[in-house]
Amino acid sequence: MPPLIRNYRKVYQPGGPSVRLVSLEDNPPTCTMTYSVIAPGKTSSHHLHPWEHEVFILEGSGALVCDGREYPIAAGDAMLIPANVDHVTRNTGRTSIRRIEVNPLAASRNPSAAVQGVRGTGQPPVVRNLRQIDQSDGPARPILNAADGAVNYIMAFRSLDPGSVAPNHVHPAEHLAYMMEGGCDLVVDGRAYPVQEGDAVLVQPNAAHEWRSNSPRRAAWLVLTPDSGTFRPPALPQK
């Protein structure tokens, strides 16, 4: 089955609402992906819901407010917001916050988020920046994992130096990714598909795939995969 490759530039209108890069209609087995922008002085929607919520800040800075407590956030931060925590993101900077949000399928199938002002459990979020992990070429490095409270899926970082190949492999889970830097060829079942910065990618389960460098620039992307119970590296220190 061909992979889904969708760039935010093709679906997002500047100044418009958030858009789904991977939606239920794309048949993702575990989670959806949304792209959104928060202008200076503005906030995200203020809500509480019964599933964990992972967000990655592509650009900008501000504050994540969870049950009334503020946590500073900046570009390169990955955030895990626990279930049943009232939360909102505020843009306190001078430029827009660009971000991707990932939610389990339950969020789309039953979007029962509580209204603003409902007090949550008080459990703090995990906020971790890419600077805290190894970003060299090689296997995917965990950013958020089960030890952090990631119940449905884990977030990792992968990079590919010029001339490198991430070896062909098959696994029973899907492969959801977001290309943050550069580009490469994604080869699925023997066919090459070019992937570039801003692309969301969904490789369905049991599809043989590999990543091949196709330029003199490094490629770097986020990887989101289901937590099978076997990938549980030690928790990294919080920011």
What is the rounded CA–CA span in Å between residue 20 and residue 11?
Answer: 8
pLDDT by residue (tens digit) across 124-156?
A: 999 999 999 988 888 889 999 989 999 889 999
Q: What is the pLDDT of residue 115?
A: 58
| Contact present, 35 and 12 (Cβ < 8 Å) | yes
134-226 matches 4-111+118-131 in CATH topology: yes
pTM of the model: 0.91
Q: What is the pLDDT of residue 232?
A: 37
- pLDDT band at residue 114 under the 50/70/90 scheme: low
pLDDT by residue (tens digit) across 157-183?
A: 999 999 999 889 888 889 899 999 999
Q: What is the pLDDT of residue 233?
A: 34
30 pLDDT above the threshold of 50: yes
For residues 126, 129, 132, 134, the Cα torsion angle rounded to the nearest 10 degrees is 120
Token digits of residue 109:
């199938």
What is the rounded CA–CA span in Å between residue 176 and residue 163?
Answer: 23
Domain 134-226 sits in CATH at: 2.60.120.10
238 pLDDT above the threshold of 60: no
| Domain positions in the chain | 4-111+118-131, 134-226
Least reliable range by pLDDT among 13-22, 110-119, 171-180, 198-207: 110-119
Out of 2.40.50.140, 2.60.120.10, 3.40.50.620, 2.170.120.20, the CATH code matching 4-111+118-131 is 2.60.120.10
Q: What is the pLDDT of residue 113?
A: 62
pLDDT by residue (tens digit) across 66-88?
A: 999 999 999 999 999 999 999 99
> How does strand 141-144 pair with strand 209-213?
unpaired
